[in-house]
Structure 1
Amino acid sequence: MKNLFLFCMIMISALISAQPFILKSVGEAKEFRLKIYYGTQGKGAFVQYSGKKEIIPLQIKSFQVDTDGRRDGEPDIHYYVWNEMIGEKINGVYTLEMIDDSASNITYTRAKDGRKFTLEMVEGEKYDGSDRYLLHGAVLAFNHSYNNHFIIVYPDGKKTAIELPSPDKPSFARQSIIEDYNFDGYDDIAFSVPDDGMGVYRMYDIYLYHPGSKRFEKLKEPDYSHSSCSCLCDVTVDKKKKLLTTGCRGGARWHQDLYRYGKNGNLEWISTKEQTEE
């Protein structure tokens, strides 16, 4: 049962990753179209208007998840509100509701006169698994399904090309997570794929953003000589205690390893917990 639940969650997450949203105006004398890209909890977002090369940052204003009032198995509703930023000024506000891979109740309110525009998804647009985020001024381009290329284009024009691990099975999709993995106040980017066995846990590659160099660098893996899991698997963060937890399964046991960052900035193993699967 646990394996089935995890598989369903993987498939749901893959659907939620179906971006960008291609939108069009409703009821306007002259229709306009745009794409909205965003990541975890609405972070890393930007908008690109049809026919325009430039992109406009979207600053997440609020993010909420409604889990109430529905039967078991029904999807949650995600609510997003973004400020459209031009320079340091708010140019407008976007709102959007999402269930699985469908967006609704989409609006844009123009700041200069308060005029509200209604938007809707463009039907029939096929998603190819490609995505882009805007994080710390850098554009991060990758693909959830069809290739393993990860390209970072920095604000100074410099570009870095990285090859990500490939999912073991074609039916599995890559997940992307925006999170502060080293607790320095700057969001980082992580990618995960199912393990090479049964796909019961996910293996992570984490790229930390360094504000000094204004570059992303891959997180150095810890010494696994004392840990039960020899990978960064099912990584979760404890922001309050500034700890990372990894999890994996071996035989009928689930293992959790706890790490903290040492003075040298490297992850250091603290302890391991084990739980027998019944």
Structure 2
Amino acid sequence: MKKLLLFCIIMISDVYFAQPFTLKSTGEAKEFRLTLYYGAQGKGAFVQYTGKKEIIPLQVKSFRVDTDGRNDGQPDIEYYIWNEMIEGKINGVYRFEIMHHQTSNISYTRGKDNRKFTLEMVEDEKKYDGNGKYLLHGALLSFNHFYNNHFTITYPDGKTTTIELSAPDKPSFVRQSIIEDYNFDGYDDIAFSVPDDGMGVYRMFDVYLYNTGSKRFEKLKEPDYSRSSCSCLCDVTIEKDKKLLKTGCRGGARWHQDIYRFGKKGTLEWVATKEQTEE
């Protein structure tokens, strides 16, 4: 079971730290360039045109993954379609395909005249600096996957919050970022995970929930661990249909899973614990 879980993590891990891409037009009299930012399943996406300060939000129209090549050891192919949103209206459509950081079939179709522009990735000789950005509920989220622990949130009203994310005591690690509705209120939240300080067999999570009242992101308060096997928010997953949040950790030869649900006050309440012997 754990071997299967590890395989799935390897196959989807690229989505959790998708780096931005610089794209350029092809076959146009006047070339234009833009940078595309996006997160898991295309969420939190936006584009910023070179030489422009403003950013343009992208709304996920469709996302799918072609897994047919897995049996032959081939990477998945991800297909994204976004609506370009300006002042709440669809202004155009972006299409983007990627297979293990190799992009193809990129295009932008302008809404007003249905003109299609072909785009291609700009090869950057510089090493990726690890910086990531998402646009979520109008707020710009900025962070780094590798080299620092700074997390900055710039809200639509211009106010900024700066947070220092948790980090393991390791010389190098990868910070994953996940956009998901962790408290099942219909609004996406943001989470970051890093390897645990031990053998790195599970990941420690910082989860920031979007508060619709204050229109701010607030860190998820850790639950009472007195009945839990894992005293951490580690290997966090959710079960949407049952509105359950699950955590997992390892102790000796056993894997432990704690199950929680959100109470009336919005805090995590323990439901059950399951154990599984290492195979």
Instruction: Work out whether the TM-score is over 0.5.
Output: yes
Tell me if the contact between 2:18 and 2:39 (Cα under 8 Å) persists in the aligned partners: no
User: 147-156 or 8-17: which moved more?
Assistant: 8-17
Alignment match, 1:204: 205
CA distance in 1, matches of 2:236, 2:4: 20
CA distance in 2, matches of 1:217, 1:101: 32
Alignment match, 1:25: 25
CA distance in 1, matches of 2:272, 2:178: 25
User: Unmatched 5+ residue regions in structure 1?
Assistant: none
2:182 is the counterpart of 1:181: yes
Instruction: Give the TM-score normalised by structure 1.
Output: 0.95
Deviation at 1:172, TM superposition (A): 2.2
2:146 is the counterpart of 1:145: yes
CA distance in 1, matches of 2:15, 2:125: 15
Tell me if the contact between 2:131 and 2:142 (Cα under 8 Å) persists in the aligned partners: yes
Give the letter for the 2:199 counterpart: M
Alignment match, 1:160: 161
Identity over the aligned pairs, expressed in percent? 78
Tell me if the contact between 2:69 and 2:76 (Cα under 8 Å) persists in the aligned partners: no
SS at match of 2:229: coil
CA distance in 2, matches of 1:143, 1:171: 13
Matched ranges for 1:42-191 at <5 A: 42-126=42-126, 127-191=128-192
Task: Return closer, same or farther for 1:243/1:70 CA change in 2, 3 Å cut-off.
Answer: closer
Task: Return closer, same or farther for 1:269/1:15 CA change in 2, 3 Å cut-off.
Answer: closer
The root-mean-square deviation of aligned C-alpha atoms, in Å, is 2.0
Give the letter for the 2:131 counterpart: S
Give the letter for the 1:140 counterpart: L
CA distance in 2, matches of 1:164, 1:16: 16
Number of matched pairs: 278
Tell me if the contact between 1:14 and 1:173 (Cα under 8 Å) persists in the aligned partners: no
Task: Return closer, same or farther for 1:100/1:169 CA change in 2, 3 Å cut-off.
Answer: farther
Give the letter for the 1:250 counterpart: G
Task: Return closer, same or farther for 1:118/1:147 CA change in 2, 3 Å cut-off.
Answer: same
Task: Return closer, same or farther for 1:162/1:3 CA change in 2, 3 Å cut-off.
Answer: farther
User: Unmatched 5+ residue regions in structure 2?
Assistant: none
Task: Return closer, same or farther for 1:109/1:167 CA change in 2, 3 Å cut-off.
Answer: farther
